[in-house]
Amino acid sequence: MIVEVATIIFGFFYIQFGAGGDKDNVAPTQQPIIFVSDQNRASAAAKHLVTTTSRSGGDVAMHIDVYGNGKIKYHANKNVRSKQPIIEVNFGDRAKTTKAQSEKLNEIFKYLNQKYNYKQYDAIGYGAGCLAVYDNAVTYGTKQNKMGLSHFISIAGPYQGVMPIRVPADNQRNIPRSGPHHNLAHHQDIIRQQSIAQQQNINQRFPSYKELKAKSKNLDSNTRVLNIYGVLGEHDLSDGRVSEASASSLKGLVKSDNYQALRLTGPDAEHARILDNQIAERLVNRFLFSE
């Protein structure tokens, strides 16, 4: 893991932050950082990333709640006028499709542009939140919401869907071992079918990769992308929720010159823990605040 990550980081720093960068591309005075988390759950890990990002240069400025009935509530403080205000977006209804979330992000960006005159923004997407950010950028973009996506950090994004939810081995202790209802194979099959059904239900809310690919040409040619994803090991090429193939397929949706990736391995690359990964944390801050 050390050699692999070190190699990627070295290559990333050389290409992204080395000599010959675009110094003429002057950023606007204010450039908010929009954070959209996994199926819109404000996990402790997500809050941790927001906190560390604020320590590196951003200022927590606003929390936005999107309710199930479509109403949007903005909770802002004085930091909305800071250089890099951090804005968290929380969708209250997890059953909403990516398309519906993308539409709401478009409303939010229009509001932020009109009220605070933000012209550009950076975005951090986690899990399903990555899809909402990307779909908004290629469906609406600057032409409709007047805000250009400058930097996009995708963390564990399921661009080709999620995997079936795994049932921990401990849960099998609840399976009857004797009596008229004892049938281990039958119970395991039920659990497996329930997991597959849940996977299909979740993936139906996401746009297909074919749809994303068709719209990828609409992504601003200046948008720079950092894709962070994890694999648990050589025999498990996934983070336990999103396969490497699904997460890494973002590469096919972005102009190659603007794409960088960090592949994490080991226990700390697990889906729920990846936001706490110190290597990922440092690279996120470097990507957003080095320029």
Report the CATH number at residue 79.
3.40.50.1820
| 221/256 same-domain check | yes
* Residue 214 domain-assigned (yes or no): yes
Beta carbons within 8 Å of 175's beta carbon, 6+ residues apart: 184, 187, 188
Q: Which two tokens stand for residue 137?
A: 């950028």
| 123/266 same-domain check | yes
Confidence of residue 237 (pLDDT cuts 50, 70, 90): very high
The boundaries of the domain holding residue 212 are 2-15+28-161+208-289
How many domains in the chain?
A: 2
Residue that wins the pLDDT comparison between 10 and 216 = 216
Rg (CA), the chain: 20
Let me know the angle formed at the C-alpha of 243 by 242 and 244, rounded to the nearest 5 degrees.
120
Look at residue 199 in the predicted model and tell me its pLDDT. 65
Confidence of residue 273 (pLDDT cuts 50, 70, 90): confident
Query: pTM to 2 decimals?
Result: 0.80
Tell which residue, 112, 75, 120, 72, has the closest CA to residue 96.
72
What is the residue-wise DSSP string for 101-142? Answer: HHHHHHHHHHHHHHHH---EEEEEEETHHHHHHHHHHHHTHH
Chain CA centroid to CA 17, Å: 22
207 DSSP 8-state letter:
P
Assign residue 44 a region: left if phi > 0, alpha if psi is -120 to 50, beta otherwise? alpha
Look at residue 110 in the predicted model and tell me its pLDDT. 97
**H helices then E strands: how many in the chain?**
9, 8
- pLDDT tens per residue across span 114-168: 999 999 999 999 999 999 999 999 999 999 999 999 999 999 999 999 887 665 5
| 62/86 same-domain check | yes
- pLDDT tens per residue across span 179-225: 555 566 666 676 667 666 666 677 789 999 999 999 999 999 999 99
Residue 73 has pLDDT above 90, yes or no: yes
| 189/256 same-domain check | no
